[in-house]
A and B are shown apart, each in its own frame.
Chain A
Amino acid sequence: MSATFRIAGAGRLKQAKIAGFSFDDRPYTGIEGDTLASALLANGVHLVGRSFKYHRPRGFLSAGAEEPNALVEIKRDAARKTPNVRATVQELYDGLTAQSQNRWPSLAFDVGAVSSIASPMLSAGFYYKTFMWPKTAWKNLYEPKIRAAAGLGVAPDQPDPDHYSARFAHCDVLVLGGGAAGIAAALAAAETGARVILADEQAEFGGSLHFESGARIDGQDGFAWAQSAVAKLKSMDNVRVLPRTTAFGYYAQNFVGLVERVSDHLQNPGRDLPRERLWQVRAKRVVLATGAIERHMVFADNDRPGIMLASAARTYLNHYGVAVGRNVGVYTANDSAYAAAIDLKKAGINVAAIVDLRDNPTGPVIDEARALGIEVNFGRAVIRAGGKLRVSSMTVQPKNGGGERTIPVDAILMSAGWTPSVHLFSQSRGKVAFNDETKRFVPGIYAQDCVSVGACNGTDGLSATIDEAYAAGAKAAKDAGSRPAKGTKPKVDAGESWSRGMLGAAPGAGSDTTVKAFVDFQNDVTAKDIRQAVHEGMRSIEHVKRFTTNGMATDQGKTSNMHGLAIAAETLGKPIPQVGLTTFRAPYTPVTFGSIVGHARGPLFDPTRKTAIHPWAERQGAVFEDVGQWKRAWYFPKPGEDIHAAVDRECVTVRKTAGLFDASTLGKIEVVGPDAAKFMELLYTNPWEKLEPGRCRYGIMLREDGFIYDDGVVGRLAPDRFHVTTTTGGAPRVMNHMEDYLQTEFPHLNVWLTSITEQWAVIAVQGPKSRDIIAPLVEGIDMSDEALPHMSVREGRICGVPTRLFRMSFSGERGFEVNVPADYGEAVSEALWAEGQKHGACAYGTESMHVLRAEKGYIIVGQDTDGTVTPNDAGLDWAVGKKKTDFVGIRGMARPDLVAKGRKQLVGLKTRDPKVVLEEGAQIVADPKQAIPMKMIGHVTSSYWSQNCGRSIALGLVAGGRDRTGETLYVPMPNGVIEVEVTGVVFFDEKGERLNG
């Protein structure tokens, strides 16, 4: 299909470079430099989407980032499908494939449009009112149906194959917006030698100079000046120029988030380019030159394809060389639409009429339009648009009523005035102020080191804009510490200027329910909806916004907020500033998840920690589990074994002969210094001063509130040196807790804390044969029970390398934990394993470790405790130094509720049927026959099959648990109630004789 709406001699694109593309499977051609929007318009295509709620046919409203209607899916391949792309910002490349959205079966015939017929039912607040009854229908019927019908595009169903990069940057002056104002500010700042970053969301700099045909700067056409100015900036070493880069969020202390679209415009991006790049910029000064966005007129059926902003039509003509129609009407309350009519007329397009809501406007553009022979009507309104899939006429009436006249048109250009883009300023926590004369919110009180220039500051006229921006750029550089330089301010030879306009609904917006005069196109909010919201009691603009959803779509109300506010204010009978503006929030335009996530996905999402002994466990066929960031050997299945068979075998083998276990992940902290024992006294409940060097003690750490925070075995290596172990998951927070007290509460103590978790690899050797396995490899340590009793530690050598050898047990068997420097961990494991195999030892994993410790009633902090368990609750009163006058938690532990009767206490639970294994987390009740909801008196914390006991075993926290020993309690489950007997927590070797066995 030939591009029939491309006007010869108009626009700036080089006709030579043709790009083929498809839209809804139909092939078209465009020109390199087109957006998808301009290329479709060149082919006469206006209908590109269906609206969100009513499925109304929609075309292009704008030529930029504010576009609410023209959302399409861009598909590169099966995995690269991007929904909700604004066709007005998607650059065309050869082979681009686009699909329309929110329609079935086709764009021109959409079944969903029946909702438009039912629209009297679908008014503001409809969800809140309609789906109230019956209650169960919400979950089963309404919500699934609404969810299926809602939303615009369809999310891709495959992982994103693209990669995204991220950079941090620092600069003296960050200029956001690359129109005339931004370029002038950047030039002024750059001339001082300041480090400058200039960013603009478009492919080419120039902003409104894309369409302002009347602008001339430094003797050139405005757009040409912008290109040469940016070329100059690019050539400067102190300037970074970022096109296709949107500043989406303005955060504290001049920290600005920008997304650079690196390759979305390329036909073959290749693998070496990221799709997008996230810039996190910290700027000494920020210059906001974000421009202004034109508003539409609010009248009946103002959403018909072919009705668009006047500036958009001008952009399509003056930049892309595309006419948006052949016979256009203009509806305005502002001068800027006249310039569009004049440009189109000069390009040979018929302008059927200009309808101006104002009574007697005067000015050069009005005179020029008349001189060109364009019919100009003052004091009149367009009360409705004709046509459905494309506008076909506009019906005009004097604004105070009277005879109607219908004028055939194929496009309507509209302008209600310009809204300064104060989004980023507002995000910076600046307060906007309302200018009643110009009906604009402009920057008022600044909260950060930034300045607004040009249209976003409410400055009218190119000359005034450049003056203001150039001065602001120079000042920003100076304030950032640069020396003033003598530069050359761009000279404006000719410019365009307009202001004023109107806010709110025009006469054609109607008041009855059948008229659809859209305020927010993307969320299908009409003027009537906003009035209705006020009538139904919404007073705050924030409530009106949420009730109607005005401004809550992905375009964030760039075109609709001011109209919505004005209609609400009018209905409330209050001035606009009293009603107030809703809050602007990041992101300014939608940001992909990919750009935020960057490289932090897959294996790079979170660090993976492996112990030094990991390769040994791998060789033994371990199945690993994730414990925090650690990979831990879970169990070691032999051929044909499942987890149960493997764990049963491992548990029995450890108690019969021995087992080797990688305990390296245990947190380890060395507490060193003359006051080390004093510090330990304060941080743990136990007494430490009298612990002899060479001995160990099981320590409990509390928080100040008296609840158990961590536990572990502590060995005293020397009077001034403790080797503290913590739980695997607790290591970092225990270190933080210790440092906190040492630095802030007990700074008088002369102690040094060092994390040594990763420095020592730990091989636990547990079982009756453990000493026989270790002894042949050890030098310099007497391994006899007399010299190395249970709970002692010695330093010596094993396999010729240094070791801290602990005699300790988390299995209840005679046991050792061999600490060696991490680099030797794998070799020592192999040596121990070779010895172990001579004795029939097994390798065992975390699952067997859990079962073995539960058989002995040893708790795991975080599993059998939950942050509300005291030492007494856990049956660990013996570990609290009774004579101590201070330790962290001593006072909290004595709080009335923590010593009250009836607290949950840790007990053992034996199921009546020994074969039944309880579920961890299951609730426990005293009477299973009581009415639901039952009174729950506790829950199961640990539960396993114990092959050594020949039955299931469990631990649980039960109210008044220890006094219930021998009682029968009940665990109600979905398929029946399980009877359990309350027991002590030790299920195996109650006397603890095997520790020396």
Chain B
Amino acid sequence: MLLIRCPYCEEERPELEFRNAGEAHIARSPNIAGESDDDFEKFFFIRSNPKGIIYERWRHMHGCARFFNAVRDTVSDRFLMTYKAGEPKPVKLPGATK
């Protein structure tokens, strides 16, 4: 079971308290109704599914109930960092393997 640091509660809590919510930094267009089929496909269906660093959303479901973002290495299943929703995608990653 993973330990995940909630950036709002500012502590590590067991995975049981959290729920994954898919890839992060996929912004919903303010003009979504006017999007082309291709753009909607990219927004709604296409995910990066990387081997390595993934930016993803989690919710501290059984804690503060906030959604936040995390950087995880899908190879080692290690969390490199977590940060609040709305914050920019971090450029520098602590302890990244690649």
Residues on A close to B: CB < 8 A? 251-253, 255, 280, 282, 429, 447, 704-705, 736, 739-740, 743-745, 747, 885-886, 890-892, 894-896
Contact = CB atoms under 8 A, between A and B. Distances in A.
Interface string B25-52: 0001010110101001000100000000
27 contacts: A251-B1, A253-B1, A253-B2, A253-B3, A255-B1, A280-B1, A704-B28, A736-B61, A739-B65, A740-B59, A740-B67, A743-B67, A744-B57, A744-B67, A744-B86, A745-B28, A747-B85, A747-B86, A885-B33, A886-B33, A890-B32, A890-B33, A892-B40, A892-B44, A894-B33, A895-B37, A895-B40
Contacts of B37: 895-896
B86 to A, nearest CB: 6
B93 interface: no
A891 B32 contact: yes
Contacts of A885: 33
A891 B40 contact: yes
Contacts of A740: 21, 59, 67
Contacts of B3: 253, 255, 282
A398 B2 CA distance: 56
Contacts of A745: 28
B85 A744 contact: yes
Tell which of A280, A744, A745 has the most Cβ of chain B within 10 Å.
A744
Contacts of A253: 1-3
Contacts, number: 50
A447 to B, nearest CB: 7
Interface of B: 1-3, 21, 28, 30, 32-33, 35, 37, 40, 44, 57, 59, 61, 65-67, 76-77, 85-86
Contacts of A736: 59, 61
Contacts of A744: 57, 67, 85-86
A736 B66 CA distance: 10
B67 A429 contact: no
Nearest to A735: B65
A896 B40 CA distance: 12
Nearest to A739: B65
Contacts of A891: 32-33, 35, 40
A744 B27 CA distance: 9
Given A740-B21, A743-B67, A704 B33 contact: no
Given A253-B1, A736-B59, A744-B57, 5 more contacts: A252-B77, A253-B2, A704-B28, A705-B44, A891-B33
B1 to A, nearest CB: 5
A87 to B, nearest CB: 34
A279 to B, nearest CB: 13
Contact of B85 (A251, A447, A743): A743
A945 to B, nearest CB: 42
Nearest to A429: B76
Contacts of B2: 252-253
A255 B59 CA distance: 22
Given A253-B3, A890-B32, A895-B37, A704 B44 contact: yes
Nearest to B77: A252
A894 B65 CA distance: 32
B76 A447 contact: yes
A253 B78 CA distance: 8
A895 B35 CA distance: 11
B12 to A, nearest CB: 9
User: Which of A253, A891, A896 has the most C-beta atoms of chain B within 10 angstroms of its own C-beta?
Assistant: A891
A750 to B, nearest CB: 15
Contacts of B44: 704-705, 892
Nearest to A168: B14
Contacts of B76: 429, 447
B47 to A, nearest CB: 14
Nearest to B40: A891
Nearest to B44: A704
Nearest to B30: A886
A895 B38 CA distance: 10
A891 B30 CA distance: 11
A356 B44 CA distance: 69
Nearest to B3: A253
Contacts of A705: 44
Closest 7 CB pairs of A and B: A891-B32, A743-B67, A890-B33, A255-B1, A745-B28, A253-B3, A252-B2
B66 to A, nearest CB: 7
Contacts of B77: 252
Nearest to A753: B65
A896 B36 CA distance: 11
Contact of A252 (B1, B33, B57): B1
A739 B67 contact: yes
A702 to B, nearest CB: 12
A574 B44 CA distance: 49
Contacts of A429: 76
Contacts of A255: 1, 3
A745 B27 CA distance: 8
Contacts of B33: 885-886, 890-891, 894
A746 to B, nearest CB: 9
A739 B67 CA distance: 8
A740 B57 CA distance: 10
Contacts of A739: 59, 65, 67
Contacts of A704: 28, 44
B39 to A, nearest CB: 9
Contacts of A743: 66-67, 85
Contacts of B28: 704, 745
Nearest to B66: A743
A404 B86 CA distance: 81
A735 to B, nearest CB: 9
B81 to A, nearest CB: 15
A659 to B, nearest CB: 38
Nearest to B12: A253
A739 B65 CA distance: 9
Nearest to B19: A736
A804 B57 CA distance: 37
A530 B77 CA distance: 35
Nearest to B85: A744
B72 to A, nearest CB: 11
Nearest to A257: B1
Identify the interface centre among B1, B32, B40, B61: most chain A CB within 10 Å of its CB.
B32
A155 to B, nearest CB: 29
A455 B83 CA distance: 43
A739 B66 CA distance: 8
A739 B2 CA distance: 24
B2, B3, B61, B67, most chain A CB atoms within 10 A: B67
B38 to A, nearest CB: 12
A891 B37 CA distance: 9
Nearest to B61: A736
Nearest to A732: B61
A447 B97 CA distance: 12
Given A253-B3, A739-B65, A743-B66, A886 B85 contact: no
A426 B30 CA distance: 49
Contacts of A282: 3
Contacts of B32: 886, 890-891
B75 to A, nearest CB: 10
B55 to A, nearest CB: 13
Contacts of A894: 33
